[in-house]
Amino acid sequence: MRNFFRFVMALLRELGDENAYQRHLAAHGVLHSPAEWRRFCDAHWLAQSRRGRCC
Amino acid sequence: MSYTPTDLRRSAPVADSGGPPPSRWRIPRAVGWVLWAAISVLGAYSVWVLTEGGKTVNSMWMVVASVCIYLIGYRFYASFLAAKVMALDNRRATPAERLRDGHDFEPTNKWIVFGQHFAAIAGPGPLVGPTLAAQFGYLPGALWIMVGAVLGGAVQDFVILFCSLRRDGKSLGQMAREEIGKVGGFVALITVMLMMIIILAVVGLVVVNALKGSPWGTFTIFATMPIAIIMGLYLRYARPGKVLECSAIGFVLALAAIFGGQAIATSSYAPWFTYSGVALAVALIVYGFLASALPMWLLLAPRGYLSTFIKLGVVLLLGVGVIVVHPQMQMPAFTRFVDGTGPIFAGKIFPFCFITIACGAVSGFHSLISSGTTPKLMARERDATATGYGSMLLESFVAIMALIAACSLPTGVFFAVNSPAGVVGATPAAATATISNWGFPVDAAQMQTLADGVGEKTLFYRTGGAPSLALGMAQIFSSFIRGNQAVLAFWYHFAIMFEALFILTIMDTGTRVGRFMLQDLLGSVWPKLGHTNWKPGMLGTSAVVVAAWGYFLYQGVVDPLGGINSLWPLFGIANQLLAAVALCVATTVLVKMYRARYMWITCVPLAWLTVVCFTAGWQKIFDSAPALGFLAQADALSKGPQTSATAALIFNARLDAGVTAVFMILVAIILVDSIRVWTGILSGNRKATSTETPFVLTRLPEEA
């Protein structure tokens, strides 16, 4: 049950881009800050907006 | 086991591609065969009950039949495709590993990729399409959803995902250009763009028809916009990075908006939120433009998160609700409308049942997702079976749930909600008389009681599928979570909010995607137009895209036959033709891989879709019945009384005929081009030049 809950939370974090943000911090070797979050969002969402959502 | 971001990167047991994945405990072979034989018998018996059960059939038989068919399809057909046709190899490094950049390319846990892929492919299509196709009865739609998904839709998603995995995560358009030729690539791009415009118009029409004359629904949806802006500001400035926390707040506010809508609907402010179809269409067009031009963080991104979470929650709730409540099917297996005289849309069961249900059986749009984000996240090749094939089966199951929700409504009520006034009569008395004469008894008092129960003034003429689906879902939810009439009204508006919310998300992201595509196209003519940050170019192309889908939306709203009659088949044809393009690419790749003996895997669904789409397209253009053929409709209008609106209606009918013809010509071009490539390679006159990336051994550690 605990594993299932962890999986659900991990899925939600992935869908909510929180994991993507963690990967961004790790890849660039920087710490979380409001400015870094905004930098990540602007690049990430711009890329996301080029991909359609299915009908 | 915990799933931290570090764990999500673990993957790749370095094993050969032949045997089953390692496991601690395995079922003995003999027991396995007995189990699969039992599943096969149970599935066959359930399908037999569905075909013989008539009005007494319980929806549980449909659930059991579909689950058995999916299990057999996944265990045997998908395994065959993975092992023999594609020879998936876990030793081969995926693009996520080779091109890892911490952004787009990242090896990720397979179930997370599965969830991400499913969230991307699941839209309103598998909910609305089966609801509309229920006019033929529950059986044709159910069989097409089950068989179409196993043999067509899941195969397309799986093979395209495989092709993209072996080509650095390239998109469908890039693969079409490289595998088939420049013409194929260009045609794929144009087909996608045209399809996007039709999709945005038709889903917009579903929202307009659900909200017209409904202050409760309109207030709730309007309220989601300031809620999204609050979420955007919260995420940007108050709690940066806390997406789940922000989405939870947004969800609570959205629920509050539903209760607020109820209060508004019974107050003196109700007229402020009561709009006609045309007014709502104009509002949507303005919204689409603003959403496309505003910064993403302010409206689009936070609403996208909220919409995704609510979508997954509702799909889960619907699945559990249907299984727990397992309502009796009120709709017969077949209705009299298999002859093509249906009130929701015109056309016989063949080909229109197979056009109306696209998502849920075969959806070309999925090929864009399978060649988009997903291949860039996959850590192991063999995970493609669960992600590509399995998630399509899950989407198909969602379509079955939607069909059950629609078919569990009394049949007369179903037709009263979904039939346009132009077909059944402009007054409740005339509509109920017409529908009762068809053999589906319903009366005006019953409809009024139902409307009062869900807090609406009327439920007549609510075409588009969303209101009847919301009614069915509300009945299931309110039986599942027991309560009084107020609970039914809440669930109805919750379902409307859920459908409208993620349709609006599709509209704003779709408008952006369309704008980028147009800028890419125009950029080759005038490079400055291709710069996505150049404001005049951005605003101009946004306006063009919004104007294009806005025009089709407007024509749907003013259409006396309800709009869905013309736009939904157009959308279905476009979506299935895109699937045909994807299957052309997939077949070409198989031929170039020297797997021509397995061409039938993709050629059978390709041939079926080609026959279905070209028959439907031909009938929509040239059929002599004005309710079906666009040109006959234009002729009939030109011979009737001429009003100021008639000229526009004639033009619209001819425009729809032209768009259908363009779709058919584009796909005919890519089909001929593909066949030329296949025959060239098979006859030895053409070299099978593969664009597959060379084998690189994975260095990812074996999964624990």
Q: Could you write out the DSSP letters of every residue in B305-362?
A: HHHHHHHHHHHHHHHHHHHHH-PBP-S-SS-GGGGTT-SSS-S-HHHHHHHH--TTT-
Would you state the pLDDT for residue B19? 46
Q: What number of helices (H) and strands (E) belong to chain B?
A: 30, 0
- CA end-to-end span of chain A: 33
Among B47-56, B242-251, B607-616, name the one with the lowest average pLDDT: B47-56
Would you state the pLDDT for residue B504? 87
What are the φ/ψ torsions at residue B137 (nearest 5 degrees)? 110, 170
A50 against B69, higher pLDDT: B69
Would you state the pLDDT for residue B703? 58
Mean of the pLDDT values across residues B622-627?
A: 94
Q: For residue B280, how many other CB atoms are within 10 A of its CB?
A: 24
Banded pLDDT at B553 (limits 50, 70, 90): very high
pTM, full prediction: 0.91
Mean of the pLDDT values across residues B22-41?
A: 84
Whether residues A54 and B122 touch (CB distance < 8 A) is answered with: yes
What are the φ/ψ torsions at residue B679 (nearest 5 degrees)? -65, -35
Q: Which residues of B173-188 are buried (b: 16+ CB within 10 A; e: fewer)?
A: bbbbbbbbbeebbbbb
Would you state the pLDDT for residue B656? 93
Would you state the pLDDT for residue B12? 37
Bridge partners (DSSP) listed for residue B92: B697
Quick check: is A53 in a domain?
no
Cα–Cα distance, B320 to B647 (Å, whole number): 50
- Is the predicted pLDDT of residue B109 greater than 90, yes or no? no
B704 against B305, higher pLDDT: B305
DSSP code of B695?
P
Q: Which residues of B71-98 are buried (b: 16+ CB within 10 A; e: fewer)?
A: bbbbeebbeebbbebbebbbbbbbbbbb
Q: Does A29 touch chain B (CB under 8 A)?
A: no
Would you state the pLDDT for residue B659? 94
Q: For residue B528, how many other CB atoms are within 10 A of its CB?
A: 11
DSSP reduced 3-state for B60? helix
Residues of chain A found within 8 Å of residue B357, distances taken between Cβ atoms = none
Mean of the pLDDT values across residues A38-53?
A: 79
Banded pLDDT at A53 (limits 50, 70, 90): low
Quick check: is A25 in a domain?
yes
Whether residues B510 and A52 touch (CB distance < 8 A) is answered with: yes
Residue of A nearest to B119 (CA): A15
Banded pLDDT at B123 (limits 50, 70, 90): confident
Count of the separate structural domains present in chain A: 1
Q: Does A39 touch chain B (CB under 8 A)?
A: no
| Omega of the bond leading into B351 within 30 degrees of 0 (cis) | yes
Mean of the pLDDT values across residues B423-430?
A: 93
Banded pLDDT at B291 (limits 50, 70, 90): confident
Whether residues A53 and B297 touch (CB distance < 8 A) is answered with: no
Residues B254-280: pLDDT tens digits?
Answer: 999 999 999 999 999 999 999 999 999
- Is the predicted pLDDT of residue B14 greater than 70, yes or no? no
Would you state the pLDDT for residue B704? 42
Banded pLDDT at B598 (limits 50, 70, 90): very high
Question: B216 near B456, Cβ under 8 Å?
Answer: yes
Cα–Cα distance, B583 to B485 (Å, whole number): 48
Amino acid of residue B376: K
Share of chain B above pLDDT 70, in %: 95
Sign of CA dihedral B253, B311, B194, B357: negative
Mean of the pLDDT values across residues B296-301?
A: 85
- Is the predicted pLDDT of residue B104 greater than 90, yes or no? no
Cα–Cα distance, B204 to B223 (Å, whole number): 18
B446 against B522, higher pLDDT: B446
Residues of chain B found within 8 Å of residue A38, distances taken between Cβ atoms = 236, 240, 297
Cα–Cα distance, B342 to A35 (Å, whole number): 57
Would you state the pLDDT for residue B11? 39
Backbone torsion region of residue B684, taken as left when φ is above 0, otherwise alpha when ψ lies between -120 and 50, otherwise beta: left
Q: How far is CA B615 from CA B142, B363, B704, in A?
A: 21, 18, 52
Mean of the pLDDT values across residues B343-364?
A: 94
Mean of the pLDDT values across residues B113-119?
A: 86
Would you state the pLDDT for residue B520? 80
Residues B465-513: pLDDT tens digits?
Answer: 999 999 999 988 888 776 666 788 999 999 999 888 878 888 888 888 8
Quick check: is A54 in a domain?
no
Residues of chain B found within 8 Å of residue A47, distances taken between Cβ atoms = 103-104
Quick check: is A55 in a domain?
no
Would you state the pLDDT for residue B146? 97
Tokens 């909510």 sit on residue:
A16
- Is the predicted pLDDT of residue B202 greater than 60, yes or no? yes
Would you state the pLDDT for residue B38? 97
Cα–Cα distance, B67 to B78 (Å, whole number): 15
Quick check: is A13 in a domain?
yes
Q: Which residue range forms the structural domain that includes residue A20?
A: 2-48
Amino acid of residue B677: V
Residue A12 belongs to what H/E stretch?
A: helix A2-15
Would you state the pLDDT for residue B23? 53
Quick check: is A37 in a domain?
yes
- Is the predicted pLDDT of residue B2 greater than 70, yes or no? no
- Is the predicted pLDDT of residue B596 greater than 50, yes or no? yes
Mean of the pLDDT values across residues B385-398?
A: 95
- Is the predicted pLDDT of residue B648 greater than 90, yes or no? no
Quick check: is A33 in a domain?
yes
Average pLDDT, chain B: 89
Would you state the pLDDT for residue B193? 87
Would you state the pLDDT for residue B356? 95
Would you state the pLDDT for residue B175? 92
DSSP code of B102?
S
Residues of chain A found within 8 Å of residue B4, distances taken between Cβ atoms = 10
The pair of three-digit structure tokens given for residue B102, joined into one six-digit string: 């911490």
Residues of chain B found within 8 Å of residue A16, distances taken between Cβ atoms = 243-244, 247, 305, 309
Cα–Cα distance, A18 to A10 (Å, whole number): 9
Among A26-30, B132-136, B601-605, name the one with the lowest average pLDDT: A26-30
Q: What is the ipTM of this complex?
A: 0.93
Q: Which of B349, B346, B328, B325 is nearest to B338 (CA)?
A: B349
